[in-house]
Amino acid sequence: MKATDSFGCPFDKLYKNQSIQGADISFFRKGALELKLEQVTTPASERGFAIGISTTGGHSRRIFHEHHATTYDFAENSIYVRNLADPYKADLGGPFDFLLLEISPAALQRIAQESDLAGIASLDIKTAWSDPVLANLVKTLIPALEHPEHASRLFVDQLASAIGIHIVQEYGGKLVSAKASRKLSRSHEALAKNMFLENLKGDISILDVAKACNLSRGYFIHAFRETTGMTPYRWLQKERISRACELLRTSEMSLSDVATACGFADQSHFTRTFANTVGTTPGQWRRNA
**Domain ranges within the chain, ordered by starting residue:** 11-171, 186-229, 234-288
Tell me how far CA of residue 5 lies from CA of 29, 120, 269, 280, in angstroms.
Answer: 12, 28, 33, 45
The pLDDT, as a whole number, for residue 83 is 94
Q: What span, in angstroms and rounded, lies between the C-alpha atoms of 4 and 32? A: 13
Residues in contact with 21: Cβ distance below 8 Å, sequence separation at least 6, in sequence order: 27, 156
DSSP-derived letter for residue 90 is: E
Would you call 74 exposed, middle or buried from its count of C-beta atoms within 10 A (0-12, 13-18, 19+)?
buried
Across the range 29-53, mean pLDDT stands at 90
pLDDT over 70 at 46, yes or no: yes
Task: Identify the bridge partners of residue 243 per DSSP, sorted by sequence position.
Answer: none
Give the tens place of pLDDT for each residue, 134-151.
999 999 999 999 999 888
The pLDDT, as a whole number, for residue 176 is 46
Q: Give the chain's radius of gyration (CA, Å).
A: 22
Give the tens place of pLDDT for each residue, 259-277.
999 998 889 989 999 998 8
DSSP-derived letter for residue 172 is: S
The pLDDT, as a whole number, for residue 103 is 96
Pick the CATH number of 234-288 from 3.90.1150.10, 1.10.10.60, 3.40.640.10, 3.40.50.2000: 1.10.10.60
Would you call 43 exposed, middle or buried from its count of C-beta atoms within 10 A (0-12, 13-18, 19+)?
exposed
Average pLDDT score, the chain: 90
pLDDT band at 179 (very low <50, low <70, confident <90, very high): low
Give the tens place of pLDDT for each residue, 84-135.
999 999 999 999 999 999 999 999 988 888 777 766 888 999 999 999 999 9
The pLDDT, as a whole number, for residue 174 is 52
Buried-state track 194-214, b at ≥16 Cβ within 10 A, e below 16: eebeebbbbebbbbebbeebe
pLDDT over 80 at 72, yes or no: yes
Q: How many CB atoms are closer than 10 A to CB 276?
A: 10
pLDDT over 50 at 178, yes or no: no
- What is the C-alpha end-to-end distance of the chain, expressed in Å? 65
Pick the CATH number of 11-171 from 2.60.120.560, 3.40.250.10, 2.60.120.280, 3.40.640.10: 2.60.120.280
